[in-house]
Structure 1
Amino acid sequence: MSQKKIGVCVIGTGRAGMIHARNFAAGIPQATLAAVVDPVPEARQRARQELELETAYADYQDALRDERINAVVVVAPTAYHRDIVVAAAQAGKHILCEKPMAMNVAECDAMLAAVEANRVKLQIGFMRRFDQSFQYARQRVAAGEIGEVVLVKSVTRGPSIPQTWQYNLAKSNGTLAEINSHDIDTLRWFTGSEFAEVYAIAGNFRCSDARAEFPDFYDNVVMTARFRNGMQGCLDGAASARYGYDARTEVVGTHGVLFVGRSQAHDVVVCNKETGMVTPFIETWRTLFIDAYKREDEAFINSILDDSPPAVTGVDGKMAVSVVNAGNQSIRERRPIQL
C-alpha cells in the first residue's frame, strides 16, 4: 500500500459532516483533513475553529481547485449531491457521498457516468455495512445458521424534528430517503437480491407544523417488499419519534431467526421501588454508529490507496434511490409498484 497521505475536504459541516471531519482530522491513517466547505458563515467558522483548520471554503468549487485536496466527502442536502459529485469527479477528486445518493435514478446515472469517465472512486455512506454487529449478523446469515432467508425486517426511527427543508419532498424525498435509505440497503444486503415490488403507506402523525405548507410530508412509513429471489422484506420508519434512536433488524429463516441492533445506551439497569427497572435509550445515531463511521472512512481511504473497488458502490446507492422513488410513488398512488 502506498504511504501517501490523502488530502480530504468535507463538504457540509452539519451533524454527519462533522463526524467525518473529526475522523479525518484526528483518526484516519494515511489521510489528513485539508479543508471544509459550508455556505453558512457561522457553521463554517465553528467547524474551522473546532478542527483547528486554516482553510474553510464557502463554495465547494473553490475546494475543487485546491491541489492539496485529493478526495471529498459530500454531506450536503440530497438535492445538491449530483452537481457536487459530478463536479468533483471532473476535477479528479475521489468521492464519499452520504446517503441518499441523489434525488432520482437519472441523477445517479449522471454521477456514475462522471466517476467512470474520470476514473475516480465513489463510495456511498451506508455506514451500517461497517458496523461490527451488522457485519457479524450478515456472516451468520451467509453461513446458513438460520437456514434460507424468508423475511428481512428493518426498523429505523429517529427522535429529532426534521429540518424545514426536509418537509419538502421535492428537496428531500421524505422519510423513506432521509431515514430509511439505511433500511433499504440493509434489506438488499441481507437478501442478496434486488427489490421486485413495493407497497408503502405513510402519514404525518407528529409534525403538525408541516401539514399546511407540505401536505404530502410524512413522518411515519411502513413498506413491504417482494424480492427477485422470492424473499420478503418490510421496513418501518419514523421521524420525530422523540423516545430515542431506534435501529434494529430481524432476519427470519427457514429454521431460525436472527436479531441485530440495540436500543440500550448502556449495559446498566437501575432498579428501585419508585421507577422499577430503568435503562437509558440510545439518543442518537451519532453515538450508536460512531465506530462504524470511522471504519467507513478508513475503507474509503484504503480503496483509493489500494485502487480497489469501494465497499459500498454507486450502484448500491442507485438501487436504494430507485426503491425510495418507487415507495413514494406507492404512497401517492396507493398501490403496489413494480421495479
Structure 2
Amino acid sequence: MKRNLGVCIIGSGRAGMIHALNFRKNVPNANLVAMVDPNEKVAREATYSLGIDKYYLDYKEALKSDEIDAVVVVTPTVYHRDIVVAAAEAGKHVLCEKPMAMNEKECEEIIQATENNNVKLQIGFMRRFNESFIQAKEEIESGSIGDVVMVRSLTRGPSTPQPWMYDLKKSNGPLAEVNSHDIDTLRWFLGADFESVYAIAGNYRCPEAKEEYPDFYDNVVLNARFTNQKQGIIDGAVSVKYGYDSRVEILGTEGVIFIGQVHEKTVLTANKKGLSRPVMNSWRSLYKDAYLAEDIHFIESILEDKKPKVCGYDGKEAVKVVNAGNRSIKEGNVVLL
C-alpha cells in the first residue's frame, strides 16, 4: 500500500472543513485531494480557502478517482447510507461522521458493504480521542472511583438548527444531531449497551419550527438502564444562546469524576461591573485536538491494517438508542432495546 493516502471530504460545511484543514496540513501520510458539495459556490470557496484545485458536485464522480484512497462523509444523515456503501464498493476507506445513519438497517448495510469490500470503517465519535475523556476512561479502569454506577452527560449548543434539522425524517432530531456523542460516551464509560430508555422533550426556543414540524424538539432529557444494570442520564439542547456546553459526571461507589466546564479559558476579570470569564462558544474550539487525533487514527488504521477504535457497531448502537429515544418521546413510554 502507498504511504501517502489521498483523502476526499464529502460535505463542505462546518465539520467538513475541520476535517479538511486537518488532512490539508496536519495528518501524517495523508493528502487532501478534493472536496465534494452539491452547492458549487460552497465547493469552490472551500477548495480556494484550502489551497487545493479539485472539487466535485457529485460524490459518485469523486469515487471514480484513483487519486482518492479514503473519504470522510460529512453530509446530512439521510444521505450517509448511500454514500458510504458506494464508497466501500469503490474500494475507498471511510470515516463517517455521526450519526452513522437513520436506522439500524442502514447501519447494518454500511457495515456489510465495508466488510465485503475489505475497507476500514470508522465512526466520528471524536470525544473518545479527547485527552480528558481518555484520562477519565483510564481512571475508571484503574478503579480510582470504585465501580461506576451512573454516567450523566450533557451537550447544549448555542446556535439555531439548520432548516433541514427541523425535519426529523431527515435528521432524527437533536438526540441524533446533538446527543449521539453523549450516547456513545455513556456506552464507553459504562462498558455496556443500553437496555431501556425513557425520554421527554419539548420545543421551547424554536417557535419558527412549530407549525411545519410539530414533532421537532430543542430540549430533551433521556434516562437509561444498561445491560449491566448501571444507570445513565442524557441532557440535550439546541439554541441555548449562552455558549457551547459539554460536561460529563461519572459517579462511582467510591468517588466521582467530572469532565468539562462552561468556560473556555481560566482567565477571570474583576472590575466595577463584576466578574467576567469567557464562555466556550463552539464545539470546533473545544474538540479541535480530538478531531485531529481522530483523523490521524483513521489513517493509521488504514496503513497499519488495524480495526479503528470506533467501529460500525458503535455507530449502530448509538442510532438504535436515538430511535428508541424518539419513540419514547412520541409514545410517552419506557422503550426496551
Q: TM-score, normalised by structure 2?
A: 0.99
Aligned position for 2:307: 309
Aligned: 1:322 with 2:288? no
| CA deviation map 1:267-303 (0-9, x unaligned) | 10001122x2210110000000000000000000000
Separation in 2, partners of 1:144, 1:255: 9
Separation in 1, partners of 2:4, 2:261: 36
- Which residue identity is paired with 2:334? P
Structure 2: runs of 5+ lacking an equivalent: none
1:3 Cα shift? 6.5
1:161 Cα shift? 0.2
1:263 Cα shift? 1.8
Aligned position for 1:155: 154
Aligned position for 2:87: 88
Contact 1:16 1:75 survives alignment (8 Å): yes
Aligned position for 2:74: 75
1:217 Cα shift? 0.0
Contact 1:134 1:261 survives alignment (8 Å): no
Contact 1:3 1:30 survives alignment (8 Å): no
Aligned: 1:120 with 2:125? no
Separation in 2, partners of 1:208, 1:76: 26
- Which residue identity is paired with 1:308? K
- Which residue identity is paired with 2:61? D
Contact 1:269 1:278 survives alignment (8 Å): yes
Corresponding residue pairs, total: 337
- Which residue identity is paired with 2:177? E
Separation in 1, partners of 2:262, 2:56: 38
Q: SS where residue 71 of structure 2 aligns?
A: strand
What is the aligned-residue identity percentage?
Answer: 58
Separation in 2, partners of 1:41, 1:33: 18
Aligned position for 1:185: 184
Q: SS where residue 113 of structure 2 aligns?
A: helix
| CA deviation map 1:246-271 (0-9, x unaligned) | 00000000010110112211110001
Separation in 2, partners of 1:228, 1:30: 40
Separation in 2, partners of 1:263, 1:6: 38
- Which residue identity is paired with 2:270? C
Separation in 2, partners of 1:3, 1:60: 23
Separation in 2, partners of 1:3, 1:311: 22
| CA deviation map 1:41-79 (0-9, x unaligned) | 111011010011111000000110000000000001000
In the TM superposition, 1:127-138 aligns within 5 A as: 127-138=126-137
In the TM superposition, 1:1-339 aligns within 5 A as: 4-274=3-273, 276-339=274-337
Separation in 2, partners of 1:42, 1:264: 35
Shift >4 Å, 4+ stretches: none
Q: TM-score, normalised by structure 1?
A: 0.99
Q: Which moved more, 1:263-272 or 1:302-311?
A: 263-272
1:124 Cα shift? 0.2
Separation in 1, partners of 2:333, 2:211: 25
Q: Which moved more, 1:254-263 or 1:119-128?
A: 254-263
Separation in 2, partners of 1:102, 1:309: 20
